[in-house]
């Protein structure tokens, strides 16, 4: 049985009509699908308590990229270079993150999603990398094709990321202007760019809770290590019930032979 992976939508306006819609990039959907998961797009609900009925059916959570996070979540005032924010989306996604943390649900955070994961564990962010990190690389390459390789990421030895990606140096695209400043409680930095900016994180105490600052959903078709990340994520999302059934089937098959 293929695991169900929750992917939160974001509020948007349809081009041409300005009609309010919910949606997300297709790349997230197909990256999860290609790795064997069943992506389930979750709309922003007015009543967050309704999530209880839905999330109990989910096996994993993918926190996607998007807008900046309101800095009050990490006890800072807005900086002049803070980008666009969406309070309703922040409330919604932090509720999802808290569910995943509490229930130990396998989670993959991408770009904003990695940042949100870090903040959910009590960490903080640089509100604008170019302002706060001297001689930093140019990270917000929004005008380039989304699969453009911009820099390398150096993966920490012995990390879960190293075991999954299978190498110590990986190629990455770069579509962000914020980044992890102080890691949250229990959060391990498992990869950095050459300028020291955090590019990979993980939470060793959790079953599977990893984050990538780049956008591997735009790269998995071309670079095997990023496909491995989605494959490992989906594998971790297979529910304990399914695992038990598989073990029973294996035992039955052995006894029949």
Give the length of the chain: 257
Catalytic residue among 139, 151, 215, 218: 215
Is 222 catalytic? The answer is no
The catalytically annotated residue of 10, 111, 218, 237 is: 111
Rg (CA), the chain: 18
Catalytic residue list contains 217: yes
Structure tokens at 120: 């959910």
Residues of the chain falling short of pLDDT 50: 243-245, 247-249, 251-252, 254-257
Q: What is the largest CA-CA distance in the chain?
A: 69
228-250 pLDDT, tens digit per residue, is 999 999 999 995 655 444 544 45
What gap in Å lies between CA 247 and CA 96, rounded to an integer? 30
Beta strands in the chain (DSSP E): 4-8, 10-13, 20-23, 38-42, 60-63, 107-110, 125-126, 151-155, 169-172, 179-180, 188-192, 198-202, 209-212
Specify the pTM.
0.92
The tens digit of pLDDT for each residue in 161-176 reads 999 999 999 999 999 9
Element (H, E) at 256: helix 240-256
The Cα-based distances of 227 to 48, 219, 220, 230, 233 in angstroms read 32, 8, 4, 5, 10
Residue 214 falls in the annotated catalytic set? no
What DSSP character marks residue 1?
Answer: -
Torsion of CA 24, 106, 210, 207, to 10 degrees: 180
**What does the pLDDT read at residue 246?**
52
Mapping DSSP onto H, E and C, the string for 116-176 reads: HHHHHCCCCEECCHHHHCCCCCCCECCCCCCCCCCEEEEECCCCHHHHHHCCCEEEECCEC
pLDDT score at 1:
86
Tokens of 223: 């670079």
Tokens describing residue 204: 């060793």
What's phi and psi for 25, nearest 5 deg? -65, 140
At 245 the pLDDT is 45
pLDDT of residue 241: 52
List 86, 93, 202, 217, catalytic entry = 217
User: What is the predicted pLDDT for the residue at 244?
Assistant: 47
What pLDDT is attached to residue 252? 46
* pLDDT tens track for 122-149: 999 999 999 999 999 999 999 999 999 9
């Amino acid at each position: 049985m293929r695991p169900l992976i929750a992917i939160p939508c974001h509020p948007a306006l349809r081009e041409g009509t300005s009609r309010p819609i919910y949606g997300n990039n297709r790349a997230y959907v197909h990256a999860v699908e290609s790795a064997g998961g069943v992506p389930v797009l979750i709309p922003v609900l007015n009543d967050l308590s309704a999530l209880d009925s839905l999330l109990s059916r989910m096996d994993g959570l993918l926190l996607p990229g998007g807008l900046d996070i309101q800095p009050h979540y990490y006890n800072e005032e807005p900086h002049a270079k803070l980008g666009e924010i969406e309070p309703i989306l922040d409330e919604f996604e932090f509720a999802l993150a808290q569910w995943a943390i509490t229930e130990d649900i396998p989670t993959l955070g991408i770009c904003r999603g990695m940042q949100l994961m870090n903040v959910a564990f009590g960490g903080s962010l640089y509100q604008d990398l170019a302002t706060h990190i001297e001689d930093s690389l140019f990270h917000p390459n929004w005008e380039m094709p989304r699969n453009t390789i911009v820099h390398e990421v150096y993966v920490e030895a012995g990390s879960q990321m190293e075991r999954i990606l299978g190498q110590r140096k990986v190629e990455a695209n770069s579509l962000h202007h914020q980044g992890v400043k102080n890691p949250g409680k229990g959060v391990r930095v498992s990869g950095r760019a050459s300028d020291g900016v955090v590019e990979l994180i993980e939470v060793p105490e959790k079953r599977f809770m990893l984050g990538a600052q780049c956008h591997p959903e735009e790269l998995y078709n071309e670079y095997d290590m990023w496909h491995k990340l989605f494959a490992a994520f989906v594998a971790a999302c297979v529910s304990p019930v399914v695992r038990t059934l598989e073990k029973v089937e294996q035992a039955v098959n052995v006894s029949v032979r």
